[in-house]
Amino acid sequence: MPKTCFVIGPIGEPGSPARVNADDFMKYIVAPCPALKELDYSPPVRADQLNEPGRITSQVIKLLFDAELVIADLTENNANVYYELSLRRAICAGCEADHTLIAAMGVKPSNDCALGRFQRQQMWTW
C-alpha cells in the first residue's frame, strides 16, 4: 500500500498569487520528485485537494498525524503553515514519520525553523 505525502503551505483563493505559487510548488517541485515514486508514495496531496465531506481542520490534523511524510513550504512565512508544522512535530515526536522543510531562495524562515535544515528552491511568480 502506498505511503502518504501531505504538503502544507499557503494556498489562497483560486486565481490569487498565493494559489498560483502553491500550484507551481506542487506541479514543478513536489510532484515530479522521483524519490516519492521510488519510496512508494502515492501522489502528494494538499488540503484544498481533499474532497471528502467533513471539517477540513479535522482532515488536516488526521493527515498531519497519519502521513508518513509532510512537506512544508515555508516560503511566505505563513502562520497556518507554522501552526500545522508545530502540530506535526508535536504529535510525531519520536515516531518514524518525517517532514521536509522547503523555502524559496532569499527567504528566512521564522522561529526555530531558521536554525534547522531545510531545502532552498528557486521559485518564480510569472
Whole-number pLDDT of residue 81: 86
Give the structural domain span for 9. 5-121
**Residue 76, pLDDT score:** 81
The pLDDT value given to residue 71:
87
Examine residue 101 and state whether it is found in any structural domain, yes or no: yes
126 occurs within a structural domain: no
Q: Please check whether residue 62 lies inside any domain of the structure.
A: yes
Res 54: pLDDT: 74
In a domain, 111, yes or no: yes
Mean pLDDT of 63-78: 86
Which sign does the torsion angle of CA 12, 18, 19, 22 carry? negative
Residue 67 lies in a domain: yes
- Does residue 114 fall inside a structural domain? yes
Q: Which residue has the higher pLDDT, 53 or 119?
A: 53
- Convert the pLDDT of each residue in 24-66 to its tens digit: 989 998 999 898 999 999 999 999 998 877 787 889 999 998 9
CA gap 122, 48 in Å, rounded: 24
Rama region for 94: left / alpha / beta (φ>0; ψ in -120 to 50; rest): left
Answer whether residue 38 is part of any domain: yes
112 vs 72, more confident:
72
| Residue 19 domain flag | yes
pLDDT at 103: 60
Number of structural domains found in the chain: 1
Looking up residue 34, the CATH number of its domain turns out to be 3.40.50
pLDDT band of 105, cuts 50, 70, 90? low
pLDDT at 98 over 90: no
**How high does pLDDT run on average in the chain?**
79
